[in-house]
Amino acid sequence: MLDNEILIGNKPLMNYVTAILTQLKEQKTIIIMARGAAIKKAIDAVEITTKQFYKHPTTTTITTNSTTLINENNVKQTVSSIKIILNKQHRSN
Amino acid sequence: MLDNEILIGNKPLMNYVTAILTQLKEQKTIIIMARGAAIKKAIDAVEITTKQFYKHPTTTTITTNSTTLINENNVKQTVSSIKIILNKQHRSN
C-alpha cells in the first residue's frame, strides 16, 4: 500500500475523513479504495471532505471493478470495488 | 425522469441488471442514479451487467454529489448520491 492510498474499512466514517484531510496536506493525489459494503462509506468520506472541510478545488475520478472470490461456505461471490482518485487543483507551495 | 434514466431503489439487484440490459438494447447512453444505501447496489448492477451479461464494450463515467435534507426527527442529514453514465461503444445498427 502506497503512502497516498487509503483503504476504507470498518472504522467510523469520520476517521476516514480525517485520514483524507491529512493526506491532502502532503500529497497532490490521493487514492481511496473500498470494496462491497464500504463503497458507500468511501463516497460519503470523499463528499464530506471535499464539500465541508477541504476548501480548495479538487477533482475526483472514479472507477469500479469487481473480483470473484470464494466465501466461507465455498460459494463463488462477486464483490464490487471502487477506486476514487482525488486530485488537488492548486499548488500548496 | 427521462427514458434512459434508471433510479436504483429497494428492488432486488437483478431487477436493475435486467432494466439496464433492456435499456442498452434501445439507448446509446444510460444514466443510473442512486442515493445513500443504494449506491453499492448501483455499482453492483453496473458491474454485473457489463462484466457478465452485456458482451459489448462500454464506458462508464461516475460522478458523486451530496444533498442535505431534514429527516423525520428534524435533524439535518447529508446524503451522498452517485450518477453512473453508461455508454455503448459500438453501433447496434
Cell of B92: 447496434
For residue B24, being part of any structural domain is answered with yes
Query: Does residue B93 fall inside a structural domain?
Result: no
**Residue A29 maps to a domain:** yes
Domain count, chain A: 1
Cell output for A78: 462477486
A56 located within any domain: yes
**Would you say residue B70 lies in a domain?**
yes
**pLDDT for residue B70 is more than 90:** no
Q: Is residue A93 part of a domain?
A: no
Give the tens place of pLDDT for each residue, B6-21: 999 999 999 999 999 9
pLDDT tens per residue, range A49-66: 999 999 899 999 999 999
Q: Which domain holds residue B38?
A: 5-88
Counting DSSP H helices and E strands in chain B, the numbers are: 2, 4
B71 contact partners, CB below 8 Å, separation of at least 6: B77
Give this complex's ipTM.
Answer: 0.85
Chain centroid to CA A53: how far? 16
* Nearest-10 crossing angle of helices B38-48, B13-26: 50
Mean residue pLDDT of chain A comes to 91
Contact state of A43 with B63 under an 8 Å Cβ cutoff: no
Structural domain contains residue A60: yes
What grid cell was written down for A67?
A: 473480483
**How far away is chain A from the Cα of B25, in angstroms, using its nearest Cα?**
23
CATH number of the domain bearing residue B44: 3.30.110.20
Low-confidence ranges of chain A (pLDDT < 50): 93
